[in-house]
A and B are shown apart, each in its own frame.
Chain A
């Protein structure tokens, strides 16, 4: 069964002369355990596609099913863990309480889960701190831990590392890969960074703007586990070049 199955999905915001066609005719299938990156110029509809998958907004045309059911059903079944571009932590909760939020709502009794996830993102010493006591990158890691506590079958991440410096970013990429390896979740990951997309993904979905469409899908084919050596391998460079050319190609068309 496919985790994501989109057939001719389109999304138009608004009506009449002010309407914006954000996505047109998106056909995409994602299998369990894949790591998919969405890449493309700003405004090409990456976030919109992610939000459609997560049932935060509905398609205006086409069909979309998640784990073999409508997206709304998947959301009711708590299939999604979402990490937004902004950490979106609740100010009045400590780090640990923030990570426990989904567990509380889903009535999951697992007192160890939050601690485990915080250790995973290296924030074990900050459990009792409030969000405002953390740096932007630390807050983002709390958000990642929060999305993982309830073992969602589908992890949706919208430029989660946008606020991080290059070093931290690479370490977080390594962590996300490790988590993905250990938990067997399927990941849909939005990014602006070509190297990031290549390093993380099994497949890269290249999108073009106005209206947002899928222009290329590139298999990375790099071996797992991936590490620093992967980043220095010729195959890696070849893929980075391939993605860059795919992006440039569709720019030429536009």
Chain B
């Protein structure tokens, strides 16, 4: 009897925000404004160039860029692939190192105290200035100097963010683990790492795009020719602007693809996260 009373008292407890088809529909709706805006910008761009007869060296029309994008696809995608290898190589290298160092800051307070102020300061150093030096340090014909530059760019934000996520755990959660006599390793895997995942991914989302940008900028300083940076630079120097823009388009596509991949893995690794909850606003 007491049993049924007890249960009935909780009938009102209906969970909110469970994922439903309407949540999916919302996600599709979320994309509509961005898509409309994108098409509008392209339209205005194309229209303006025709209306005001703007010269190609100022700004080529989207239709012209697309045309060159298709015609030169062999060359630009081959360059794009090489740039992507540099960017991803640097991204992986920088991320792996960043995560290792972040993990060390948890175990060894001196690492944290010695490194963190330096790392935060390093974040605001124009690391790209290192590119010519990196070119000199390694064989200029290899992708390694570019990877090193990208890795350095990636390292600091990922390290600082991940370390913060690992360290700034709710003290009550640590006490709970303490009450179970959990080992530091268990606290790491069961509390700190899951807690740090959102911090890690928010940094990764930023640097995944930056990795392409910085690989290209590093390429401007010389090295192999079959890369996007050199392609864009050469075409610009020859005043073949639609070709340069086609190269930029490839770079944008690669950047967006890396970003999308990061988003996807974020969802895969932390399906519980707040930002994926169906919003009941709107």
Contacts and interface: CB of A to CB of B under 8 A. Distances in A.
Contact of A105 (B170, B180, B273): B180
B173 A105 contact: no
B18 interface: yes
A192 interface: no
A130 B272 contact: yes
Nearest to B269: A92
Interface stretch (B5-13, B44-52, B152-160, B226-234): B5-13
B2 to A, nearest CB: 6
Interface in B182-199: 182, 186, 190-191, 194-195, 197
Contacts of B191: 90
Contacts of B195: 92
Interface stretch (A30-38, A79-87, A242-250): A79-87
B16 interface: yes
Nearest to A165: B9
Given A174-B2, A175-B6, A88 B170 contact: yes
Most A CB within 10 A of own CB, among B9, B10, B190: B10
Interface in A89-114: 90-93, 101-102, 104-106
A56 B173 CA distance: 12
Interface in B138-184: 170, 172-173, 175-182
A54 B6 contact: no
Contacts of A29: none
Interface string B2-41: 1001110110010111100000000000000000000000
B70 interface: no
Contacts of A135: 13
A7 interface: no
Contacts, number: 79
A82 B6 contact: no
Nearest to A134: B15
A175 B182 CA distance: 29
A56 B178 contact: yes
Contact of A126 (B15, B172, B194): B15
B125 interface: no
Contacts of B190: 90, 101, 104-105
Contacts of A133: 15-18
A91 B270 CA distance: 10
A132 B181 CA distance: 26
A181 interface: no
A216 interface: no
B238 interface: no
A98 to B, nearest CB: 10
Contacts of A106: 180
Contacts of A130: 272
Contact of B10 (A78, A86, A93, A138): A138
B7 A122 contact: yes
Q: What band does the interface of chain B fall in when counting residues whose beta carbon is under 8 Å from A?
A: 20 to 34
A160 B16 CA distance: 23
A83 to B, nearest CB: 10
B215 to A, nearest CB: 33
Interface centre among A78, A90, A129 (most CB of B within 10 A): A90
A174 B17 CA distance: 31
Interface string A120-133: 00100010011011
Given A126-B15, A171-B9, A91 B272 contact: yes
Interface in B75-121: none
B6 A174 contact: yes
A227 interface: yes
A76 interface: yes
Contacts of B267: none
B6 A122 contact: yes
A174 B175 CA distance: 28
A60 to B, nearest CB: 19
A167 interface: yes
B137 interface: no
Contact of A84 (B9, B176, B181, B273): B176
Contacts of A134: 13, 15
Contacts of B10: 122, 138, 168
14 contacts: A56-B179, A75-B178, A80-B179, A88-B170, A88-B172, A88-B176, A92-B195, A92-B197, A92-B273, A104-B190, A138-B13, A168-B9, A174-B2, A175-B6
Given A75-B178, A105-B180, A132-B17, 7 more contacts: A84-B172, A88-B176, A101-B190, A129-B18, A132-B274, A137-B13, A174-B2
